[in-house]
Structure 1
């Protein structure tokens, strides 16, 4: 029969300590998630290194290819992600202050902004595809090797980033369910805190992607 009596252990000095279930271990939860974020940084970091290597080898081709991108749509998406990160952080603050309604509203706004980001990226990709610029297209294959590499990296890295946006939306919907079930609350909020960190990573990666792909064309 289960009881609510806490299990106690004693250290070498004889001081009692309550055993904490690993599911409620805040420190372990944070450490584990930081390790996950580190693997994500290594993954994107490897892509950035590949981009830097080929940009160093073929700067003129990369600048020419970058000039074909829509910097206004890219800049708008940058602003949208920065704004969504603000609302995600505000959601966490509201939860800690026990204002559940404002917390959920902030998460809903973040989800809406994430969908707007995806719609704009879809429009941008559609424009490029309609112009015949997509992997292994006849028009793209007729361009220089540097331009082909640029667009290969562009579709790969922005596409992979888009997958992370979709994953973030799914995580935010999940945490809303947990908030409604009161599993996540003002006392136990590490899940929302970790999702907020994940969203920080998503926006941080885009902050690097935007100048790499869009702004270098301005110098051509």
Structure 2
């Protein structure tokens, strides 16, 4: 039986702790680094849930207090554009899920293309939202900048003024959602450059997986915004 030399043990120890380029020195293994990154992303999403949760709660409270104003104001939104954006975001989420799959199966070209499609649908969503905002500006439904109660005269002056609360929440909620979309689109461009270099198709997929969680979260927020803002008062008069 051959005795193991101290030098052999040292080499074996060094081999077990080889740090790949994407492996940060303060993690013992890549798996540990991946779990830490995933945990950090879930914590971040938790803070996002609390942030949007506050907006949702404000909306529900004011809708209860000023229901006639909220009903009348919600009828001015374009359900067709809202539904179109919903379809666009669901499609982008599907492309993002496929992008994660492409990274995990080490398909570099497919990953780049799917990230590009995700971005394309994200940009399309913002274009549709621009036309919605432009319509609100044209109709003088922008609180604080250009607002008129002419379309809500039947409510009475006091309740008609309360429609500004609805539009304030509408712009706050959809505006913050759009901001998250813009941040995501910028990040996707960065990930596309890195993916084209092959960074995420050699076993290092944590950034794509975690960004996928972010993108799906943005999708889910809109899934709640669409019925709350566009559909909840559809049958009311």
TM range (shorter): 0.7 to 0.9
How far does the alpha carbon of each residue in 1:118-157 deviate from its partner, in whole angstroms, 9 at most, with x for none?
0000011101101111122241597624311000000111
Moved over 6 A (4+): none
Q: Could you tell me which residue of structure 2 aligns to residue 99 of structure 1?
A: 107
Aligned length: 208
Deviating more after overlay: 127-136 vs 28-37: 127-136
Which of 80, 85, 100 aligns to 1:77? It is 85
Q: Per-residue CA shift, 1:63-121, capped at 9, x if unaligned?
A: 11000011100110001000000000001111211221111111111100001000000
Where does 1:143-158 land on structure 2 (aligned, <5 Å)?
A: 144-158=160-174
RMSD: 2.2
Counterpart residue number, 2:126: 118
Any gaps of 5 or more consecutive residues in structure 2?
A: 1-10, 19-26, 151-156
Is contact 1:84-1:109 (8 Å) kept?
A: yes
Contact residue 80 and residue 117 of structure 1 kept, 8 A: yes
User: How far apart, CA to CA, are the structure 2 residues paired with 1:7 and 1:115?
Assistant: 43
The CA deviation at 1:174 is: 1.4
Query: How many angstroms does 1:22 deviate by?
Result: 7.7
CA distance in 1, matches of 2:32, 2:186: 23
Q: 2:96 aligns with which of 82, 88, 103?
A: 88
Q: 2:225 aligns with which of 197, 209, 213?
A: 209
Q: Output the CA distance in 2 between the equivalents of 1:6 and 1:140.
A: 71
Residue 52 of structure 2 is aligned to residue 36 of structure 1: no
Distance 1:185 1:51 in 2: 43
Structure (1 or 2) with the larger CA radius of gyration: 2
Residue 21 of structure 1 and its aligned partner are, at CA, apart by 5.8
Q: Summarize the Cα distance change of 1:23–1:176 in structure 2 as closer, same or farther, 3 Å threshold.
A: farther
